[in-house]
Amino acid sequence: MKKIIYIFVLALLTSVSSFAQESKINWVTFEEALELQKKNPKKIMMDVYTSWCGPCKMLDKNTFQNKDVAAFVNENYYAVKFDAEGNSTVNYDGRTFSNANYKEELKNRRNSVHDLTRYLKVNAYPTIVFFDVDAKVISPIKGYQKPQQIELYLKLFLGDEYKSMTTQEEFNAYYSAFKPEFQQ
């Protein structure tokens, strides 16, 4: 009887562990994503956040830990977390970006803006920046996104249908016809 209970508990723990892994996005650095694109082309989804941003923390907790979002992102995108006011050095688009005015004593409060943040024209947090397989910016999406809201953009940018949308009316038609499948 003890052996049966042990096997049951072990199976239960394994399935809980498997579920927990499926609910986590496999985050990489931007430079790692750029290297990964060379071997296996995928688009990039970059979460541009700050340590002091409340909506950024909500995005992490409510959206990025959603099992549907995590599974979809892990399968179809390279996911990057980028601290918009951090102290990293990033090589992108033939340039080197840093944060020369970064102050360590302000690391958990407002700090100076990273040069890459400015280059990407991010001026609100959180912003999710989507890149194509050639690492060119597709579009930034500003603000907190619930799972079904981000689903619309994840699916829109996964294919190349967005390239044929040239007017607000065309996007509105896509938006109106979109049927979300992710659980909230």
How does the average pLDDT of the chain come out, rounded?
88
Q: Whole domain around residue 97: which residue ranges? A: 26-177
The single-letter DSSP state of residue 92 is E
> Which pLDDT belongs to residue 155?
97
**Domain assignment of residue 20, yes or no:** no
Of all residues in the chain, what percent are helix, strand and coil, respectively (each to 5)?
45, 20, 35
CATH of the domain at 126: 3.40.30.10
**Domain assignment of residue 13, yes or no:** no
Residue 5: pLDDT band by 50, 70, 90 thresholds? very low
**Domain assignment of residue 171, yes or no:** yes
> Which pLDDT belongs to residue 148?
96
Residue 147: pLDDT band by 50, 70, 90 thresholds? very high
Residue 97: pLDDT band by 50, 70, 90 thresholds? very high
Tell me: pLDDT of 18 over 90. Answer: no
pLDDT digits (tens, 9 = 90+) for 41-62: 999 999 999 999 999 999 999 9
Residue 71: pLDDT band by 50, 70, 90 thresholds? very high
| Selection from 95, 53, 45 nearest residue 74 by Cα | 45
CA angle 14, 181, 151 (to 5 degrees): 95
Residue in this structure with the two tokens 């979460």, named with its chain if needed = 47
Q: What is the tally of structural domains in the chain?
A: 1
**Domain assignment of residue 60, yes or no:** yes
**Domain assignment of residue 9, yes or no:** no
Q: Copy the structure tokens of residue 119.
A: 């280059």
Which stretch of DSSP H or E encloses residue 33? helix 30-39
Q: Average the pLDDT over each of 39-48, 106-115, 169-178 and give the range with the smallest value.
A: 106-115
**Domain assignment of residue 14, yes or no:** no
Q: Copy the structure tokens of residue 105.
A: 């004593």
> Which pLDDT belongs to residue 134?
96
Cα dihedral 16→20→21→24 (10° resolution):
170
> How far, CA to CA in Å, does 176 sit from each of 27, 54, 103, 165, 179?
31, 29, 45, 14, 8
* Straight-line distance from the first to the last Cα atom of the chain, in angstroms, rounded to the nearest whole number: 40
